[in-house]
Amino acid sequence: VIGAGTAGLAAERHARAAGARTLLIDPAFAGTTCATVGCMPSKLLIAAADVAHTLGRAGRFGIEARGRPDGRRVMARLRKERDRFVAGVKKSFRALPAGVRIEATARFAAPGRLLLDDGRSVAARAIVIATGAAPVVPKPFRGLGDRLLTNETLFEMADLPASLGVIGAGPLGLEMAQALARLGVEVTVFDQARALAGLPEGELSERLRRALAGEFALHLGVEVRARAEPGFVLLEWSGSGSGTHRVERLLVAAGRAPRLDGLALDAAGLRLDRAGVPVFDPGTLQCGDAPVFIAGDANDRRPVLHEATAEGTIAGRNAAAWPDLGHAGRMVPLALAFTRPEAATVGEVPDMADGAHVSADASYDDQGRARVEAREGGLVRLFATSDGGRLVAAQIAAPGGGHLAHLLAWAIAARMTAAEVLARPFYHPTLEEGLQPALRALCAAARSPAPWDRDDRPPPGA
């Protein structure tokens, strides 16, 4: 197994459980991306930002509150908690049976044969590629020295900068932009496109943009150039608008690319797609018909943690059992950005031009529970089959969007119709309740009767 991240650890464990003799190869065994520079430190930063934000708007609830973020303490707490998570991963490295762990960088020498950077070579009956992904730094932003940040360096800052530019309005860029803005950093975000946080361009992205407006500056549809100046980065942009701005640091969150460059995949005899990723079967994770499997961010299909774990499991089991492969029924796609409000996409969003699907919206602009918490504003769009109203997908930019996304993912996985979801209890007052108007509209559009024994009006007063 090449790579001891989330996918690689799962692959090694499951291959060994299936009876294989395994080797887990990684140059550092430093901890997974998730624990060291990904999910956990980013959520720790957001948690601090949530506290600052709550204090900042306490007056809306009639509460006098004061508090200013202390950047050094925010970053120190982040790293302390992050290191706890990393220690947990390192404990699992230590629990590996003797001889499994190989500290080296691997590349293919031939099909079934790896060459390690310490000169050793490994022959294997089957190989799992689980090398993860690395941040992409486009050309205009190289050469900025330590003024340039990526997710690999952001969390090492001793203190918060006074100002930050962010390149990329995807999930990672926007999560960090909003969190840092809430912690008092003057943030400016740029993107060539107009789609936000993984949502499609159009109404959903626009809803999220409106919700974020006022927290930080957002320039969409622009090309940015950057130049290092003493103590600053000078940003100059043009496109839908133009301008210049000086920032103390620049976070490049312009996407992450599979880390396959150094693997010498040509020597493995694998067929590659145009992006240089081996062509693989998502059900088995096998690359072509070779005894090679690819899991996690390395295959660039669903670069999120629960999928890395699942794919590691499938790849590890199949590598051990090759050529007797199991074909996995993959999970409902679920992608989530922890912005406030949260943005999510669930399921496979259908092409509405095919006439086989209907959609309906639930507005959170005046939703009871959202209003109670002063978090109103947002939209959920549901998609269902026009024949029967079976839920297939959802797009979300709404308060509590992470919870709504899970609920909907589970309903989609259970192949539930809108009417069947409506027949379930909805507690009052909750954000979940806000889905009911869209579910009813789907029943009407799909000519599928809503349950006769449920009231279909919003609760009185909310």
The contact set with ligand FAD (CB under 6 A) reads 2-8, 25-28, 32-34, 38-39, 42, 105-106, 130-132, 151, 172, 259, 262-263, 296-298, 303-306, 308
Closest C-alpha among 254, 291, 283, 258 to residue 273 = 258
Q: For the chain, how far is it from start to end, CA to CA, in angstroms?
A: 55
Give the nearer residue to ligand FAD in terms of CB position, either 32 or 359. 32
- Closest approach, Cβ 67 to ligand FAD, in A, equals 26
Pair of tokens at residue 196: 């936000």
Give the nearer residue to ligand FAD in terms of CB position, either 105 or 367. 105
- Closest approach, Cβ 320 to ligand FAD, in A, equals 18
- Closest approach, Cβ 102 to ligand FAD, in A, equals 9
- Closest approach, Cβ 14 to ligand FAD, in A, equals 14
Give the nearer residue to ligand FAD in terms of CB position, either 102 or 438. 102
Whether the CA torsion 228, 220, 194, 377 is positive or negative: it is positive
- Closest approach, Cβ 451 to ligand FAD, in A, equals 35
Give the nearer residue to ligand FAD in terms of CB position, either 299 or 448. 299
Distance CA 444, CA 327 (A): 37
Nearest residue to ligand FAD by CB is 5
In terms of C-beta density within 10 A (0-12 exposed, 13-18 middle, 19 or more buried), how is residue 121 classed?
exposed
Spatial contact of 313 and 14, defined as CB atoms under 8 Å apart: yes
Give the nearer residue to ligand FAD in terms of CB position, either 136 or 445. 136
In terms of C-beta density within 10 A (0-12 exposed, 13-18 middle, 19 or more buried), how is residue 23 classed?
buried
Distance CA 139, CA 158 (A): 27
Q: Give the CA angle between residues 156, 57, 175 to the nearest 5°.
A: 35
As beta bridge partners, residue 363 has: 379
Give the nearer residue to ligand FAD in terms of CB position, either 179 or 384. 179
Give the nearer residue to ligand FAD in terms of CB position, either 179 or 446. 179
- Closest approach, Cβ 74 to ligand FAD, in A, equals 17
- Closest approach, Cβ 290 to ligand FAD, in A, equals 18
Distance CA 365, CA 351 (A): 27
- Closest approach, Cβ 367 to ligand FAD, in A, equals 25
Distance CA 306, CA 304 (A): 6
Give the nearer residue to ligand FAD in terms of CB position, either 122 or 349. 122
- Closest approach, Cβ 256 to ligand FAD, in A, equals 6
Give the nearer residue to ligand FAD in terms of CB position, either 199 or 421. 199
Determine the longest span between alpha carbons in the chain, in angstroms: 74
